[in-house]
Amino acid sequence: MQEEQQNPTLGPEQGPQQSEQQQLQRHAFGFGFYLKPRLSELIQWAQSSRETSNFTYDLTNLNLSQLAGWVNVIASCTLEQANQWIHELRHDDALRHHLNQLTANSDSAITADLNMGYGRRLGWYALVRALKPRTVVETGVDKGLGSCVLAAALLRNRAEGHPGRYFGTDINP
């Protein structure tokens, strides 16, 4: 018992004590491994984007493939169909023009980007195209980009004989 009191066991939250040099090395490793690669992305985004909420972004080719695979599994459609619907939205010039006009003429034009990337909304679009729901409900509409994407999918479904309705709500009027 006397020996235990002289050499108390450190709890897992404390761990062994590190020297100042070891702490600096860990900070340098953390910065180099986690932060440095993202720092240039952060600076580029801060200089090129006006977004302050509901950030928009483009997906990499790998992310697009993964998203198509996800839609394929969730909606029980073919991978080719999932890719086709994602491509359909990404290359819808009429919708892009409409969104740019709405954004440029809106009260939030100063905090929104033109030619914004759809990001995760590509998956929403593809799911609505695949599942052909009669009703789509969106909570957290924000500026309405997702609303327009969902409505575009519903309109295309309607043109193919599968009508559906959209309902959106947000706590910010």
Q: What is the pLDDT of residues 30-87, one digit of tens each?
A: 877 777 777 887 788 778 777 777 778 889 999 999 999 999 999 999 999 999 999 9
| Confidence band for 107, pLDDT divided at 50, 70 and 90 | confident
Asked whether the predicted pLDDT for residue 5 surpasses 70, the reply is no
pLDDT in tens, 128-159: 999 999 999 999 998 899 999 999 999 999 99
pLDDT at 14: 66
| Predicted structure pTM score | 0.75
Q: What is the pLDDT of residue 169?
A: 96
108: exposed, middle or buried (C-beta count within 10 Å: 0-12, 13-18, 19+)?
middle
